[in-house]
A and B are shown apart, each in its own frame.
Chain A
Amino acid sequence: MGEQRVMPLIEVENLGVRLNTSRGPAQAVRGVSFALKRGETLGLVGESGCGKSVTAMSLMGLLPDSAVVSGSIKLDGNELARLPDADYCRLRGNRISMIFQEPMTALNPMHTIGHQVAEPLRRHKKHSAAQARKEAIALLDRVGLPDPARRVDAYPHQFSGGQRQRITIAMALACEPDLLIADEPTTALDVTIQGQILDLIADLVEERGMSMILISHDLGVIAENVQRMMVMYGGTVVESGPTDEVFRRMGHPYTQGLFRARPKLGARKGTRLKTISGTVPELADLAAGCTFSDRCPLVIDQCRAALPPMVDVGPGHVVRCIRTDVSMAENVGALSA
């Protein structure tokens, strides 16, 4: 018995997703690979349209019927990509759960919240109605919904946005999943509520030993909530590594741009926010070469020739850029910038 390699909970290899859009087929995700151990947390960062949500939806097996998935997604070593929907239904809400961005529309207005929280329990755990209801009340209590025993029969419109997000969290946690995917869980909420919800999610992840994939465009949220992070752009991962390491030594010009573009406290009034010039490329007409080349300040001809390989720049820290010698030299002390 030598050293036994711990099998990752989820292992994604060379994931590609081709979507049919109104502008023709688009390669929404390409060459995405990562592995996540039980209890590990991973952040996905990037602008809208960079492929974060499509990656998440392919893990859930909830892409549109017309989407073409290539590569491999393994849960405990079992292949999920191209799994028949009936089999996927046994995993969703049971071993893999998801929290969505829009709490105001994520709940069915016609059903009581108790019914909706109990639904996965009845389905996957075969709980009786009474048993599931009791469990739903306990879950609603755990996520901090006030007076759950009385409010379990209320309808979604009777709750605020923050409360509804707590309800969707209760729903996602009902069957104690191994993996929780949170897609911008606080983007639609008031700033004061955002912190509470993120704390709740962090507590629950730790308490239940779940793995989590947290999707956000907010670097602050990522910095505080996940152990590892991946930065996506144009459907590819451009940088990936332990969160601390990436924040200390950002290697990709895009990551650096994102960091510079965040609003800063204490900035002088009237200071313009830094932006990354140009716009996110349309995935339907991506050229060969680095996806960021059109907006990159460090671009050279070679960047447009072929998609750059991943370059090792530190322990577990890789960057998809051929100019890291320049970008990382210029970026010394990024955090103090």
Chain B
Amino acid sequence: MSVFVLRRLLTLLATLVGASLIIFLVLDALPGNAAQMLMGADASADAVRALTVKLGLDQPLAVRYLQWIKGLLVGDLGNSYVYGTPVASLIAERLVLTIPLAIMAMTITVTLALSAGIYTAANHNKLGDVGVMSLTQVGIALPNFWFAILLVLLFAVRLQWLSAGGFSGWEDGIWLGVKSLLLPAISLAVVQAAILARVTRSAVLEVLREDFVRTARAKGLGKREVLWSHVLRNAMIPVMTVMGLQFANLLAGTIVIENVFYLPGLGRLIFQSIANRDLIVVRNCVMLLATMVVIVNFVVDVLYAFIDPRIKVHDL
């Protein structure tokens, strides 16, 4: 078990190093000089050069990369080119919104997907199965921003239950915060839930065909008991794998959804920083997203071993 975790941890570190290299090189290769951008098109060449030196952009590539990594390790992410404030505090402010949003969206995704997936598998080829599966087909085809606008039209404009956008913060009570994140979380979750429901359904159906299900029935267990006590745990491995991957999709989705709902979250920060060529913010935000995705997948891998006793022996 510990060998397994150790090996996974080493993979995780290697992935992060790789990700940091790619992020750094890609952003560096982008056209457009941050100093020029900041000073405006008609700034003098001397002034631009001076700012370039001040920002450290004249240093060689390797030096700048190592400086960035060193900063990451001690938690000093540098200052935003645009705002002049520390990037770390900029990100921290935004995470207060984006992390709860991601958790809410993931919770909705998992709840919807598991109920729909298990229900349809248990009623294979019956009317309920066909109906729910057609709905998931629609769900997969929906662009999330368009669905978000539909939700706003219904719940904010017509019914006036929820606000159309903006975030009230957590100071006025948790419920108000949750309320302002509800529509964005649902918009993010619907597509993911539709995909995950289909994965769950096929995973459960596959396990239902296994011999040990017949053995369990031969012992006198009813269909429902077999489903809960024998089938689900076996079906969870593919479902969790997809869940891990979906977490990445979900984070990427926040960039669009936070813009639709005017939410001051990480996604919006990334979007604005790209527009402003505030590359130091972009670089650190993207690195943070990559880290979150890698860590979630690491957790999924470790959970495999808890679910499936065979993995402890064979390793992955």
Residue of B212, B218, B222, B313 near A108 (CB, 8 A) is B212
Q: Identify the interface centre among B212, B216, B221, B307: most chain A CB within 10 Å of its CB.
A: B212
Once the chains bind, are A123 and B212 in contact (CB under 8 Å)?
no
- Closest chain B residue to A102 by CB distance? B211
Q: A110-B307, A155-B309 are in contact. Are A123 and B218 (CB under 8 A)?
A: no
Which residue of chain A lies nearest to B307 when distances are taken between CB atoms in the complex?
A110
CB of B218 within 8 A of CB of A110, answer no
Task: Choose among B219, B223, B308, B310 the residue that contacts A92 (Cβ–Cβ < 8 A).
Answer: B219
- Taking the nearest CB of chain A, how far is it from the CB of B253, in angstroms? 33
Cβ-defined partner of A94 (8 Å) among B220, B222, B223, B310: B220
Q: How far is the CA of A100 from the CA of B223 in the complex (A)?
A: 19
Q: Given the complex, which residues of B lie within 8 Å of A60, measured CB to CB?
A: 218
Q: What's the minimum C-beta distance from A197 to chain B, rounded to whole angstroms?
A: 17
- Bits for B199-224, please: 1 = Cβ < 8 Å to A, else 0: 00000000000111011111111110
The residues of B that contact A124 with a CB separation of less than 8 Å are: 220
Residues of B within 8 A of A109 (CB): 212, 234, 308-310
Kindly state whether residue A91 has any CB partner on chain B within 8 Å: yes
From 218 to 247 in chain B, residues with beta carbon under 8 angstroms from any chain A beta carbon are: 218-223, 230, 233-234
- Cβ of B220 and Cβ of A93 under 8 Å apart? yes
Assess whether B212 is in contact with A107, with CB atoms less than 8 Å apart.
yes
Residue of A nearest to B215 (CB): A106
Measured in the bound complex, the distance between the Cα atoms of B249 and A195 in whole Å is 56
Which single member of A62, A91, A94, A157 contacts B214 (CB below 8 Å)? A62
**Interchain CA distance A171-B308 in the complex, whole Å:** 22
Instruction: Bits for A88-117, please: 1 = Cβ < 8 Å to B, else 0.
Output: 011111100110101001111111000000
Residues of B within 8 A of A97 (CB): 218
Chain A residue numbers with a CB within 8 Å of B233 are 110
Q: By the criterion CB–CB under 8 Å, are A100 and B220 in contact?
A: no
- Taking CB atoms, residues of chain A closer than 8 Å to B307 are 110
Of A86, A93, A102, the contact of B218 (CB 8 Å cutoff): A93
**Would B219 and A171 count as touching, CB distance under 8 A?**
yes
Instruction: Kindly supply a per-residue 1/0 record for chain A positions 176-211, scoring 1 wherever the CB is within 8 Å of any chain B CB and 0 otherwise.
Output: 000000000000000000000000000000000000
Contact mask B258-293 → A, CB, 8 Å, 1/0? 000000000000000000000000000000000000
A40 at the interface (CB under 8 A from B): no
Nearest CB in chain A to that of B232: its residue: A110
Residue of B nearest to A120 (CB): B219
B316 to nearest A CB, angstroms? 15
Q: With A109-B310, A155-B309 in contact, do A98 and B218 touch (Cβ < 8 Å)?
A: yes
A62 touches B215 (CB 8 A): no
Is A168 an interface residue, CB under 8 A from the partner?
A: yes
Kindly state the separation between the CA atoms of A119 and B219 in the bound complex, as whole angstroms.
Answer: 8
Q: Separation in Å of the A161 CB from the closest CB of chain B?
A: 13
Q: Is the beta-carbon distance between A89 and B234 smaller than 8 angstroms?
A: no
- Cα separation A276 to B234 with both chains bound (whole Å): 43
* Residues of chain A within 8 A of B215, CB atoms compared: 100, 106-108, 168, 171
Contacts of B221 in A (CB 8 A): 89, 93, 119, 123
Quick check: is A85 within 8 A (CB to CB) of the other chain? Answer: yes
What chain B residues lie within 8 Å of A86 (beta carbons)?
Answer: 222
Give the shortest distance, in Å, between A112 (CB) and chain B (any CB): 8
Closest-CB distance, B113 to chain A (whole angstroms): 21
Of all chain A residues, the one with the shortest Cβ separation from B233 is A110
Contacts of A85 in B (CB 8 A): 222-223
Q: Which of B214, B217, B219 has the most CB of A within 10 A?
A: B219
Contact B309 A106 (CB under 8 A): no
Per the bound structure, the CA–CA distance linking A106 and B216 in Å amounts to 9
In the bound complex, residues from chain A placing their C-beta under 8 Å from that of B308 are: 109-110
Query: Are A155 and B219 in contact, CB atoms less than 8 angstroms apart?
Result: no
State in angstroms the CA–CA spacing of A168 and B215 once bound together.
9
Evaluate contact between B217 and A91: CB separation under 8 angstroms. no
* Shortest distance between the CB of B203 and any CB in chain A (Å): 14
Contacts of B220 in A (CB 8 A): 89-94, 120, 123-124
- Top 3 A-B pairs ranked by shortest CB distance? A93-B219, A93-B220, A105-B211
Q: List 7 A-B contacts (CB under 8 A).
A: A62-B217, A62-B218, A100-B211, A106-B211, A110-B230, A120-B219, A171-B219
